[in-house]
Amino acid sequence: MRSLRISCVLVALYGGWLEAQQFAPPIPCPAAVSINSDYIINGTDSVATLICNPDSRVLWEIENASLKDLWVGFGHFKIRGGGAEKDPVNDGGAKQKFYVFRVRPGTLVSTNRLRIDKASPTEKYKYDIRIWTSRPDNTYGGFVKELDPDLDVTPPPTPIGRGGRGGR
């Protein structure tokens, strides 16, 4: 009888854990962007591919290792392989051509308000990172540096016991 009670408790606990997994929040997808005084990003002008799920936070951590105020923008999203311009990012409901952040010298800024849209299709994207030495105008020209890394939106992970395939 005692082992039956223990088994029932374990099943109840596991069932509750599994149910919680089905509604777990999406995992943030972070990327580090460190800019030196020559406007070189991450020492080699490269940024790793971001792999995100719909509704996950996009956390670009921007470090300004230069001696100047910089404005760093993420935008001009398009489907990889010459596809149409399409923005999977959401800034509280507002779509923008570039999401621009001011980064003062020697500071670290996080883009924690940005998310991948819940309804974003699973696609492979290219996007631009641009650096300006003064606040950009609405044409987003006049930048001193531009990179075009990748961002992949993948299906969310499938909880254990649900079957099917998931992302990550």
Beta bridge partners of 103: 70
Domain boundaries, the chain: 29-153
Extract the tokens encoding 158.
């499938």
d(CA 141, CA 18): 49
Q: pLDDT tens digits, residue range 65-109? A: 999 999 999 999 998 887 778 888 876 666 678 999 999 999 999
Cβ atoms 42, 72 nearer than 8 A: no
Domain 29-153 = CATH 3.40.50: no
pLDDT band at 119 (very low <50, low <70, confident <90, very high): confident
What are the start-end ranges of the E strands in the chain? Answer: 29-35, 50-52, 58-64, 70-79, 89-90, 98-103, 108-110, 115-116, 124-132, 145-147, 150-153
Top pLDDT among 120 and 101 is at 101
pLDDT band at 16 (very low <50, low <70, confident <90, very high): very low
Q: pLDDT tens digits, residue range 20-71? A: 445 456 678 888 999 999 999 998 888 889 999 988 888 899 999 999 999 9
